[in-house]
Amino acid sequence: MTKKCDKYESLFIFADEETLNKHLQECEDCRREHEKMHKVSALVKEAEPELKRRAAFFNSLKVACVLFLFITGGVFFQTFAPMQLNNSNATMTASISSDMSFDYEDSIIADMGLPTDDYGLLMLD
Ligand SMILES: [Zn+2]
């Protein structure tokens, strides 16, 4: 009964090239293991450009998704968020709209009975 040699991994990782090659010449199991490693390595090298191309594609897809979310999110908040404020909190909406728009009719100066110009500012002669 022969036990399969399990030195290949440790020799591959820890030993120098010469020690590994010397053992490979003596040991059939490790030679087979070494050939398998070469095949896998060749496959990885063959697939590398395709993998990089896919990674680049997925990265650009991610960027496109983030941009799409920013744009749709902005549109959503511009169209639906004020409606929600209208429905849920009327006073909040009133304060926001008065902050955001200039209502020249409600000029404080005009309310005080002072002469104002078209912009609701105090008019001096
Ligand atoms: Zn071996």
CA of 22 to the centre of ligand 1 (A): 10
Q: Over the stretch 68-96, which tens digit does the pLDDT of each residue have?
A: 999 988 887 777 766 555 555 555 555 55
CA of 1 to the centre of ligand 1 (A): 16
Residue boundaries of the structural domains of the chain: 8-88, 90-125
The pLDDT score that the predictor gives to residue 117 is 83
CA of 125 to the centre of ligand 1 (A): 105
Encode the chain (125 residues) as per-residue pLDDT tens digits.
Answer: 568 898 999 999 999 999 999 999 999 999 999 999 999 999 999 999 999 999 999 999 999 999 999 998 888 777 776 655 555 555 555 555 555 555 556 778 888 888 888 887 888 87
Tokens of 51: 């993998």
CA of 9 to the centre of ligand 1 (A): 9
Instruction: Name the CA dihedral angle for 84, 87, 92, 93, rounded to a multiple of 10 degrees.
Output: 80
The pLDDT score that the predictor gives to residue 96 is 54
CA of 40 to the centre of ligand 1 (A): 19
CA of 41 to the centre of ligand 1 (A): 20
The pLDDT score that the predictor gives to residue 54 is 95
Task: Decide if 92 contacts 85 (C-beta within 8 A).
Answer: yes
Buried b (16+ CB within 10 A) or exposed e, 23-36: bbeebeebeebbee
CA of 24 to the centre of ligand 1 (A): 7
